[in-house]
Copies of this chain bind each other. A is one copy, B any other.
Amino acid sequence: MSEVFSSEVFLAYSTYSTVVLLKMLLMGPLTGYFRVTRKVFVNPEDARAHGDKDEETSKKYLRIDPDVERVRRCHQNDLENIVPFVGIGLLYALSGPDLSTAVMHFRIFAASRIFHSIAYLVPLPQPSRGLSWIVGMGVTFSMVYRVLKAGVHL
């Protein structure tokens, strides 16, 4: 096993990155589940496969559903927030932070993003979703600060 995996900070980064990327990935099957069960498609070949084999009548399943769109927006927000966390988090984990500080960053981020998805999908009244989004972004900004403080080469 690589030496980097013997560092507790890197192990924590590995664990929490994997958890949040897995959470993000699961939005894909969730979108698919809603599309198939509600017969709401965007591709004609999907409408034929899961809606109606007849080409003409299958066209009525090429439509937009508010719940499918909601899952897609939640997925998009994950892409916009979880992907930067994974990139900046790697640099942060390698920049030599305290283990307890690093784990606190990762825990708060993961919790905020899991709560964000719940708030988006239920949906919970605002500002629950907005606040969880801000908390996650705050964690990433804090890691940005510590990465740049650890060393800069312009």
A80 and B84 in contact (CB under 8 A), knowing A4-B2, A126-B48, A147-B14? no
* Count of residues in A whose CB is under 8 Å from the partner chain: 63
* Nearest opposing residue in chain B for A25, CB measure: B84
Interface 0/1 of A11-28, CB less than 8 Å to B = 110110110011011011
Interchain CB contact under 8 A, A25 and B125: no
Interchain CB contact under 8 A, A151 and B5: yes
**A54, chain B: closest CB distance, angstroms:** 14
Which residues of A are interface residues toward B (Cβ below 8 A)?
A: 1-2, 4-5, 7-8, 11-12, 14-15, 17-18, 21-22, 24-25, 27-29, 32, 42-43, 45-46, 48-50, 70, 73, 75, 79-81, 83-84, 86-88, 90-91, 94-96, 103, 123-127, 129-130, 133, 137, 140-141, 144, 147-148, 150-154
